[in-house]
Structure formats: C-alpha cells, structure tokens
Structure 1
Amino acid sequence: MATRPDLDTLYNALMDEEDARSCADIPGSACTNVPTNFFRQVTATALTGLGDALTNPKTTLAWLMGMVGAPVALIAWLVPIRESGSMLPQLFIAAQIRHLPLRKGVWILGSLAQALALVAMGAVAWLTEGTLAGALIIACLIAFSLARGLCSVAGKDVIGKTVPKRRRGRLNGLAGSIAGWLTLAFGAACMIWPPGDEDTLFYSALLLGGAALWLAAAWVFRGIEEEPGATEGGRNGIAAAFERLQLLRSDAPFRRFVIARALLLCTALSAPFYVLMAQELHSGVGMLGAFLIANGLAGSLSSMVWGRLADQSSRQVMISAALLGSLMGPVVVLIDYLGVLPEALHAWLFPVAFFVLGVAHSGVRIGRKTYVLDLAGGTRRSDYVAVSNSVIGLVLLSTGLFGLLGTLIGAGGMVLLLSLIGLAGAILALRLPELSMY
C-alpha cells in the first residue's frame, strides 16, 4: 500500500528525515509502509491508553466495587490481577504466536476480547451487587487481563517488524502524549462535573465507553501492513515455555534487564502511597481530580520527550527516569514530616509529587519498552517480551505483601523503601549494554 503524501510529510517532520528514510532492523519491503504503519499504531495505542485510564483499577474499578458492595478482600486483588494477569501467561502465549507469520490478527483478537470483557463488567455492575457482583467483576477482569497479554506479545512484535529502530521510542512517546492529554481532559471533567457517590450508571457507561475504545483500536490496527515473520521455534506447550526461561541463565544482558525492570517497578508501586499521604490530611474529592489531572499532564508533557531521548539511548532514559522518581521520594517525605509548608499548600505537595512521579514512570516505561525491542532484534523479540513480562507478573503478585508491610511503616515509610529499590534499579541499569546509539 502506498503511503499517503500528507502522512509521509508528517512522519518525516517528526523523525527529522528529509531524503533518505531510516529502515534499520525491519524488512526492506516494509520501508515504504513505515509512515502509515507508524500512525496507525500510534492511534491504536493512544486509544487503548485512554481506555486504560477510564478503567483504571486504582480509581474507576475500585470505586465501582465499593458502590456494588463488594468485600474489601476482593477489591485488594484488582491491581495485582490487572497487571500480573496480562503478564504471567505470556510465556505460554508466545509459543503459540510464533507459529504465525503475521501477528497483527492476535492483537486484534486481544483487543476485541478486552472490549467484550468490559461490556460484561458493565452489565454485572448494573444488574448485580454484593459479593456476587465483586466475584463476577474479578472474573471479567481476569478475562480482560489475559486478552491484554495477547496484545502485549503481538503488539511489540508487530512494532518490531513495521517501525525502524530509533523510531520506536517516538511511537510510544507520541501515543503516550495523546493518551495523556485525553486523560487530562477526563480528569478535568470529573473535577467540574463530579459523578454522584452512588452513580452506578455513570461507571457502567464508563466501562462501555472503554469497550468502544478497544473496538476502535482493533479497527485501526487491522489496516497495518505487516510483513511475514519467522515461525521457527514455534513449539507449544509447557516444555517450550520453560526452555524460554533458560534465556535468563544464558543471556546475561537480558537477565540484567529483567532484574533492573523488576526494581524499577517502584515508580508504579509508589503512586498509591502518595495518594494515601494526601488522604491522611483529610483532602476532599477535589484533590482526587487534582491527582487525575497530574497523571494526565505527566504523560502528555513528558512522553514525546522521553520517546525522542529513548531513540538516542533507551538505557539512559531508564536510568534518568528511575533517579528522578527515587530521589523525589525522600524529599517529599522530609517536607511532609517537617511541616515547613503553609497548611494551604501542604496538601498540594502530593499532586505535584504525583506529577513528577508520573513523569518518571513514563520515562521508565518508554525506556524499557524501547530497550527490550532493540535488545532482542528479529527472531527473539516475542521470546524476550514474553519471558520478561512473565517474570514481572510474578513479581507484581508478590507485591501484595507490601500491603502488610505498609501497616507497620506507614505510607511515608513505603515511599522511602520503594525509593531505595528504585535507586538500586538505576544503579543496575548502568551495567546494561548501550544499544540505541549504535
């Protein structure tokens, strides 16, 4: 398919390309379709990014579970299931995907399945209540997370085959910025027109809106021109999955990357504790809107910058972002402990810190996504993504124990602990090989 002139011009402007287009690390026959494929994947990723914001387990789903009267024990499983449920099965999913020379169909299937799970979740919220509603929402979330795993493995492989090296960071960055601005608008709307505390219809409609976003993303993704990829090594079954785990033993750079990525989870795990520190000041509902706006601003303002920097050195982006998030924690805890700010400003310390943490998390996410694509190269890309995501899924499940530790050392203590872990991740990332500059 020939590239439209307007898309070609826009792509060249974004990439600072004039005459010769870079097509490093992709098939030569895919070079002509790069601009169209680039913007289709930006659009699809931005749509699902907004969908993730609308169905966030830390906000929307938690509030919804509370409104339907679900037990607290079920609510506590929302975040671990949402994140690890999409990662743990990837080691086994990758073996099946490797049978397929074209993988965009897997992404489309995963997107449609996520939409179906959200529709079911909205129906459950509208028609049931109590423990039954909570259990059914959890079941829908498990199905949603499994489908998300399909998109994660297939999506990175499609990007690796259709977008050149040193252009993938900008793809993730641009999509993150667009999703961030849309999330910002949603957060502002919630501050101006807050839903009622018992408005189940609003949250059910929000889930249906999220489903529509995944349907739209699937429609956009189907237009990507993907070249057939390698299918060797596509055995399925548990044996093939455990063989892929041998990469952790035999591939030292990949092993260091997985360990560093696990340590850098601190930028995601710290976020709820900043919210808890603000709640301890008895902040009102308006402060929740401020956190939503801070999160949207962080993604929209920083993602393109991180993406461009990741194309120069994704390793340096991971290190810089981890240091930003880790060094901010002790500063915020110290200011809070000393109480040096006027009372009117003290509560706003936490949305500001949440914004900085969001900037750091955006950098870590874009840096590690770009790094693993560049590290893997052609035929091992799906294996690298599946192994690293499966290991991180196990780590995320284990972080449920942090809730017990938090009762002993408090939210501030957890911020300090996670900051130390993030600092260790930044130090380990210094030992990773440099990739993007070569």
Structure 2
Amino acid sequence: MKESRWTESLYDYLNNEEDARACKEINEEACQYTPKNYFIIMISNIFTKLGDTLSNPKTVLTWVMSYVNAPVYLISFIVPIRESGSMLPQIVIASYIRTKKKRKWVYVFGSIFQCLSIMAIGLVTLHTTGAKAGWLIMFFLIIFSLSRGLCSVASKDVLGKTIPKQKRGKLKGYTASASGILVLLAGLYLMYQSKSGADSTFYSYTLFFAGSMWLIAAVIYAMIREFPGETSGGKNGWKEAMERMSLIGSDKNLRNFVIARSLLLCSALTAPFYVLLAQDILGKEGYLMGLFILVNGLASILSAPIWGRMADVSSKNVMVIAAIIASMLGIVMFILISYIPVIRNAAWLYPLAFFVLGIAHSGVRLGRKTYIVDMAGGNKRTDYVSVSNTIIGLILLVTGGISAVASIISIEGVILVLSLFGVLGAYKSYKLPNVE
C-alpha cells in the first residue's frame, strides 16, 4: 500500500494532477491502476530502447557484419529487413490481436522472441564468419523484426486500454529522456571498454546484453494490470489490407504523401554506409562503434525538441528541411571521399557526418509522423497509417536491392544514389499541402 501511494504521488506530480485524476477514454476499473501501469510501461520501454540502441542495425549490426566479413550486399539489407519485417505483417497481426481479450501477453511473447533473436546473432558473431555469418544474421534479424511487429501493435492497444488520453504523450516523452541518457552512457561505456581491444567476444557479449534487455522488459511488462477488452473486428487480415489499399488510387493526398515518404527513406538507408565508410578508411577499432552510438543519441536528444516545435507550425516543412540536410550531406561526403584525400582520412569526419545525419533523420521521422496524423482524422487515420506502412515496407525491400546493386560500385556511390533520391523527396514534400 505504501508503494501504491508513492507511485500515485509521483504520477500526479509528473502529470500535473492536482485534483481528482482524469481518465479519458479508459474505464473506471483501469483508472485505479493507472499510476502503477504508467511506471511499468515506462520502465519496460526504457529497457527495450536500450536494447534497441545496443543492437541498432544502422550502427551495431552494420559494424558486427562488417567485422565478421559478411558481404556488403547483405549489409545493404539490414535496415530494410529490420523495418519492413515489422511493418508488412502489421495489418494481419492487428486482426489476430483484436481476437485477444488481453493483449499484454502478445507483447511479452514478442519481447522474448526479440531477446532470443538478438542473442542468436551474438552466438553467430562469436562462432562464424563470412557469408555464412551474414546469412545467419539476416535469418535471425527477420525473426526479430516479425517479433517487433507483434510488440508494436500490442503495445498501442495496451497503452490505449491502461493510460488515459493526454497522458500518453508525456509518458513517451519521459521514456525518451530517460532512455536517451542511458544511450549516451552506453556509448561512453563501449568506447571505454573497447580500448583494451574489441574482438568477436566483445561484440557478441554486447549483443547478449542487448538481448537481455528485452527479457527484463518482458518480465516487467507482464506486471501490467490489464482488464479484458473487446474482441470484435478480427476479420481476415489480408482481405482487409486489400480493401484498404484502394485508398492509394482514390486519395490523392495519401498517394502523394506515400511517394514523398518513400523518397525520404534515404536518411535511414544511408546510415549503415557511413559506418562502413568509417570502417573502410579508419579501421574497425571498437571505440568508433561506441562513438557512433554516442553521436547518434546526442543528435536525437538535441534536435527532436526543435523539430517538434517546428512540426507544430508546418510538418511538411520539417520533412523538406530534414531531407535537404540528409541529401546535401550525402552529396558533400561523396565529393570529399572521391576527390579530397586529405579530408577523406580525417578521423573526425565520419562521426560528425553521422551526427548531422542523425539530426536529419530525426526531422524526417518526426515530420512525416506528425503530417500523417494531422492529415487524417478519426478512423481514416488508422487506414492511412496501415496502408502507408504496408507500402513503405515493400519499398524498403526494393530500395535495399538497389543499394545492394549500387554497393558493387562503391560505398560512397550508394550514399550518392540514395541522396539524389532524397533531393527528389524534398521536392515532393514541398509540393504537399499544409495540414496544420
């Protein structure tokens, strides 16, 4: 009882609850357990975000695959596989989850499988090399990605059932702040530890630790007090998906947004190639991986609040500006790497470029998420998001293939090709109507 009063007091303080607690869009029974559930979700999400950082495909997995000498064409698919695997099946997954009265167990199940997948990648890193290691990592990454999709859909349902409206944004904000600090500490720790020598054991243990974060998160998440909810709507997922896909043909604004969003994938897809460039030119010293994690975390923490304020004025302008930054960075990097060898060998260039790319990617993500929410209202929002995610999941696989082909030419060539797509993406974003 004492602990309950403590959580209630802290919850009221964080959410400025001075009078009777407001519980919009959740029932009275769930309202009684809101403070406890609030902190359980927050702590669980902090652990998963730390796990995400320590197994990030754009930094850690790219670094690990390069270290074990996996083919570059496979590394080109790391980000597309990780993202599309969790996006493509979401409509079908959502239909299945709607048949369950309690959805937290779907999340727990998904978290355990994410833990096992990342630990399996750690074992592959420890015991195999070359193309075999690359293909095994991709296999376990697919399992991880599908499990991530389960958690993504289930967590939104559980959040909606347990946390009142107008408290969910603050919860995400506090989680992001706390996990951001842990990310910086993790980056510093990896930089320090790798000074004594980074080998396959060091990288595999990092992945084992990352995997354990999802196991801890699953145990904590299982403590949520969730009451049975509605189970209607569990129709054939593929049939629903096909019906919703017709929106692309009939809704011009959605169609143009999806085209723009597809072209803006450059900010995410180029990231692994900046890491590969650093390894190719500076070497595979472990401290560099920690430095990339550190600057990426800093970029998000410093830029997200600014992008957020700008997005409230015009989210499409945020997409335009962020895309221009990412694209110009890529073009400049191509010129420096190809024609100015003095700067090409500078150790400061690659972490700095990754920091700028992190700022740009943060703007692209925040801008397009805000735009689609503001563009649609009510039930249309769900349809817009599911259709957009499904198409983007398919396009990610196609662009991964383009990157794989381009990587045969050169790593900097891939960055240039994707950056040129980004220029076109900035133009298409500029042509979108304002929705604020």
Alignment of 1:27-426 (within 5 A): 27=27, 29-194=29-194, 199-236=199-236, 238-249=238-249, 258-275=258-275, 282=282, 285=285, 288-303=289-304, 309=309, 316=314, 319-320=317-318, 323-327=321-325, 329-330=327-328, 333=331, 348=348, 350-366=350-366, 368=368, 385-400=385-400, 401-405=402-406, 407=409, 410=413, 413-414=416-417, 416-424=419-427, 426=429
Instruction: Give the aligned partner of residue 430 of structure 2.
Output: 427
How far the C-alpha of 1:151 sits from its partner, in A, is 0.9
AA aligned opposite 2:122: G
AA aligned opposite 1:145: S
Change (3 A) 1:334 1:349: same
**CA distances 1:178-204 after superposition (whole Å, capped 9, x unpaired):** 333222222222322326777222222
Change (3 A) 1:81 1:252: same
**8 Å CA contact 1:325, 1:357 repeated in 2:** no
Q: For residues 424 and 37 of structure 1, what CA distance do their matches in structure 2 show?
A: 44
How far the C-alpha of 1:371 sits from its partner, in A, is 6.6
Q: For residues 197 and 303 of structure 1, what CA distance do their matches in structure 2 show?
A: 34
**8 Å CA contact 1:101, 1:228 repeated in 2:** yes
**8 Å CA contact 1:91, 1:383 repeated in 2:** no
Deviates more, 1:385-394 or 1:328-337: 328-337
AA aligned opposite 1:168: R
How far the C-alpha of 1:108 sits from its partner, in A, is 1.2
Q: For residues 203 and 348 of structure 1, what CA distance do their matches in structure 2 show?
A: 23
**8 Å CA contact 2:59, 2:275 repeated in 1:** no
**CA distances 1:101-139 after superposition (whole Å, capped 9, x unpaired):** 332221111111111222333333334444443333222
Change (3 A) 1:139 1:86: same
Give the root-mean-square deviation of aligned CA atoms: 4.1
- Alignment gaps of 5+ in structure 1: none
Change (3 A) 1:410 1:263: closer
**CA distances 1:259-283 after superposition (whole Å, capped 9, x unpaired):** 4543443332343455567678758
- Alignment gaps of 5+ in structure 2: none
Change (3 A) 1:146 1:404: same
How far the C-alpha of 1:294 sits from its partner, in A, is 0.8
**8 Å CA contact 1:65, 1:134 repeated in 2:** yes
Q: For residues 398 and 161 of structure 1, what CA distance do their matches in structure 2 show?
A: 37
Number of residue pairs matched by the alignment: 429
Q: For residues 362 and 102 of structure 1, what CA distance do their matches in structure 2 show?
A: 33
AA aligned opposite 1:118: I
Q: For residues 138 and 41 of structure 2, what CA distance do their matches in structure 1 show?
A: 29
Q: For residues 134 and 337 of structure 1, what CA distance do their matches in structure 2 show?
A: 30
Instruction: Tell me the TM-score normalised to structure 2 length.
Output: 0.80
Q: For residues 183 and 99 of structure 2, what CA distance do their matches in structure 1 show?
A: 37
AA aligned opposite 1:294: V
**8 Å CA contact 1:124, 1:136 repeated in 2:** yes
**8 Å CA contact 1:174, 1:303 repeated in 2:** no
Q: For residues 393 and 61 of structure 1, what CA distance do their matches in structure 2 show?
A: 20
Instruction: Tell me the TM-score normalised to structure 1 length.
Output: 0.79
How far the C-alpha of 1:159 sits from its partner, in A, is 2.5
AA aligned opposite 1:116: L
Change (3 A) 1:198 1:337: closer
Change (3 A) 1:378 1:206: farther
